[in-house]
Amino acid sequence: MSSQNYDFTKMPQSMEEFWMPFTPQRLFKKDPRIVVSADGMYYKDVDGNTILDAIAGLWCVNAGHNAPKVKEAIKVQLDTLDSTLNFQYGCPTPFIAAEKLCKVMPDSYNHVFFSNSGSEAVETALKMAAAYHHARGEGGRRVFIGRDRGYHGVNYGGISVCGLSYNRSMFGQLLPSIDHLPHTHNLEHNAFVKGQPEWGAHLADGLEELIQFHAPQNVAAVIVEPVAGSTGILPPPKDYLRRLREITRKHGVLLIFDEVVTAFARMGEYSSTTLFGVEADILCMAKGLSNGVVPMGATLCTDQIYDGFMGGPEKGIEFLHGYTYSGHPLASAALIGTLDTYEDGKIMGNARQMMKVLEQEIHKLKDAPHVVDIRNVGLMAAVQLETEEGKDPLRMSRSVSYELFNRGIVMRYSGPNIQLSPSAIVTEDQIKEMCGTLREVINDVAAGKVSH
Ligand SMILES: Cc1ncc(COP(=O)(O)O)c(C=O)c1O
C-alpha cells in the first residue's frame, strides 16, 4: 500500500490492538475521543468539530500546533539524512541543536545529554548524578531524595523518586536508598493563593534532617519539579527552592530540577530557573523542547558536572549511558526549529502577558460549586474539586474533563484537579473561553445534568 492510500483522518477500523498509555482501555474504546488534525490552538476531531486545546498536547506544543519553523526544519533533515547512529559516529544536527539550546539557557548550563522522553531525561539525570560522584571517588553517594506527590515519569528510577503512591502501587519494591521530602500543598494555609504561596518555605528545611538521617556522604542528589505538575500544579512556596539549593550545596549533594513541564515558555522563560532565581546542577527537559513534534528529552548540566567526568583516560567512555536515538537527527531538527520559533521573543512575551490573564480569569471560579482550591503559576493552573465521600472520588473531575471535550475544549483531570496549561500563543479571548466553559461545565456536573 502506498502512503497515498492511507487516510489518517478516519476512525480506525480496530481499536483493540493499541494498548493506550495511562488510559482506561475499555472505557475509552466504548466512547473514544479521537482528534485527527491540529493547527495553532485547535484540534479537529474525527467528526470535523473544532476543539480548543487548553493543555498544549500534554504540556508539549508550547509554541502551538503546526509551528511552521519546526515542520520546515524536520522536512529539511528528513530529505537529507533520515537516521544515523550517534555512538562513536555522529551527524551535525544534534551538535547544532545542543549549541543553540545552551545559548538560550542560563549561562551555567553548557552540556546536554539527549534522550527520547521526559522519563529518560530523568533516568539520565539520576545516573549522571551517581556516576559523577563515582568519578570523583565518592561512589558511596547512592541515596536519592524526591518529594511526595512528585512525578518523574515511568521508568524504575523515576517511579522510585516519584511521590505518587498510586503510580508506584503496581510495581512492588523499587530502587533502594530512596527518601522523600514532604509536599508543599496545604489547603489550610494556601487555598486560593495566586501564584507562589507565602507559607511553606520551611518545608524545605526537612531536607537537612533527611540528609543527616542518611549521612551526607551517602546522599547523591535531590530531585524536584520546580512546580509539581502532574499531581495538580503546586507552585513552590516563596524561598522554598532557594533553601533546597542552600542545603544541597552545603552537603555536596546535587540538586536536579525536573523541568520536563516547566521549561520552554511554560513559565515565560526557556527555563524556570530564570523565573525562580535558583539554579540546579542538572536540569531535565522534554515535551516543549521539540514542541512535542518528535519525541525528545534532554538532560543539561553545569561545567562542574561535565568536567567531573573528563578526568579519566581519553580513550575510555566517560559516561556509560546512552540511547540508540540520543540526538536523533529528526528530533534535533525539531529542537532547532523550536528554538527558531522562539527566537524573536514574541511567543515568550505573549506567554508572560497571558500568565497574568490566566491568573485573573481562573481565580474567578472561586465561587463555583465544589471548588476547594485554585492554583496558578506561569501558564499553568488547576481547579481542585471536592471529592465525594463514599462515592467514586474522581467522578466530579472526570465528568468535568470528559464533558469539556463534548463542548469543544481539551482540559485534563488529574486526581480531583482540572488542569490548564495552554500553549504560549494563547490569546486573552481563548483563556476567557476556557475558564467560562469550565464554569458552565462544573455547574452542570454539580447540578447532576451530566456525569461520565
Ligand atoms: C515532571 C515530569 N517529569 C517527567 C515526565 C515524563 O515524561 P515522558 O512522559 O515524556 O516520559 C513528565 C510527564 O508528564 C513530567 O511531568
Q: Which residues line ligand 1 (CB under 6 A)?
A: 117-119, 122, 151-153, 225, 229-230, 258, 260-261, 286
Q: Are strands 282-285 and 297-302 parallel, antiparallel or unpaired?
A: antiparallel
Mean of the pLDDT values across residues 112-130?
Answer: 98
**Which domains, and CATH codes, for the chain?**
3-66+345-446 (3.90.1150.10), 69-342 (3.40.640.10)
Burial of residue 396, with CB atoms counted within 10 A of its CB: 0-12 exposed, 13-18 middle, 19 or more buried: buried
Looking at the predicted structure, is the pLDDT value of residue 2 above 70? Answer: no
Among 20, 58, 119, residue to substitute to test ligand 1 (most atoms within 8 Å of Cβ)? 119
Among 260, 262, 293, 323, residue to substitute to test ligand 1 (most atoms within 8 Å of Cβ)? 260
At 129, the amino acid letter reads A
Report the percentage of the chain scoring pLDDT > 90: 94
pLDDT score, position 330:
98
pLDDT score, position 1:
59
259 C-alpha to ligand 1 centroid (Å): 9
118 C-alpha to ligand 1 centroid (Å): 4
Looking at the predicted structure, is the pLDDT value of residue 388 above 90? Answer: no
Nearest ligand 1 atom to the CA of 262 is 1
Contact 125, 284 (CB under 8 A): yes
Per-residue pLDDT tens over the stretch 37-60: 999 999 999 999 999 999 999 999
Per-residue pLDDT tens over the stretch 27-37: 999 999 999 99
Looking at the predicted structure, is the pLDDT value of residue 3 above 80? Answer: no
153 C-alpha to ligand 1 centroid (Å): 4
pLDDT score, position 166:
85
pLDDT score, position 160:
96
d(CA 255, CA 334): 28
Mean of the pLDDT values across residues 177-204?
Answer: 97
Nearest ligand 1 atom to the CA of 158 is 4
pLDDT score, position 390:
81
C-alpha cell of residue 170: 503496581
Question: Average pLDDT, whole number, for the chain?
Answer: 96
Confidence of residue 389 (pLDDT cuts 50, 70, 90): confident
